[in-house]
């Protein structure tokens, strides 16, 4: 099995509510569990950033399906690389709205929190996106 990691950013359509996001998560956790896909979904001020990890074929197929999902648009793939081991193995799909953090949670993350998830910084330096996702993985439900 060839493991890959893939990170993309996107923008939710205006009508997406937090209950829509809960639906996405419920659906994702069930489906990802069956496919051995792990990862983390961040949301901030209408934008998503998601990392998907798993078998290359399964991750590519899911990414294709997610790209066609009408609940978001403006999808930009930042990163797709082979990996030897997972960084998000505990999450069938963790989620964090980093637009609504407690003061404690914000500490030390100001450079990330000041910019949108689809900021050009992440396109020119995708590793920054990985660092951001890593930074929040331990605070995720
Ligand atoms: C931002 C976002 C992230 C998503 N992440 C996942 C995911 O990790 N796993 C998943 O199965 N579906 C995810 N979905 C939902 C898929 O786009 C799709 O609706 C779902 O896989 C069900 O497809 P199906 O009806 O063809 O089975 C996500 C959707 C959005 C908008």
List residues bridging with 51 in a β-sheet: 7, 40
CATH value of 3-137 in 3.30.830.10, 3.40.50.740, 3.30.565.10, 3.30.70.100: 3.30.70.100
Distance from residue 107's CA to the centre of ligand 1 (Å): 31
Sign of the torsion formed by the C-alpha atoms of 101, 105, 106 and 112: negative
- Indicate the DSSP class of residue 98: T
pLDDT at 128: 94
First-to-final CA distance of the chain = 28
Residues in the chain: 141
pLDDT tens for 76-109 read 999 999 999 999 988 888 999 999 898 888 888 8
Q: Where are the domains of the chain?
A: 3-137
Whose CA is closest to atom 24 on ligand 1?
65
Residue with CA closest to ligand 1 atom 22: 27
Q: Whose CA is nearest to atom 6 of ligand 1?
A: 28
C-alpha to C-alpha distance for 42 and 58, rounded to whole angstroms:
21
């Amino acid at each position: 099995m060839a493991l890959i990691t893939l990170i993309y950013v996107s923008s939710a359509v205006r009508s997406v509510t937090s209950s829509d996001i809960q639906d996405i998560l419920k659906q994702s956790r069930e489906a990802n569990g069956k496919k051995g896909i792990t990862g983390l979904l961040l949301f901030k001020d209408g934008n998503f950033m998601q990392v998907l990890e798993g078998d290359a074929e399964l991750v590519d197929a899911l990414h294709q399906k997610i790209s066609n999902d009408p609940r978001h648009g403006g999808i930009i793939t930042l990163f797709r690389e082979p990996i030897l081991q997972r960084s998000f193995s505990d999450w069938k799909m963790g989620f964090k709205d980093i637009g609504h953090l407690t003061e404690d949670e914000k500490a030390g993350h100001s450079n990330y929190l000041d910019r949108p998830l689809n900021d050009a910084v992440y396109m020119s330096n995708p590793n920054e996106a990985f660092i951001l996702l890593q930074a929040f993985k331990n605070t995720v439900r």
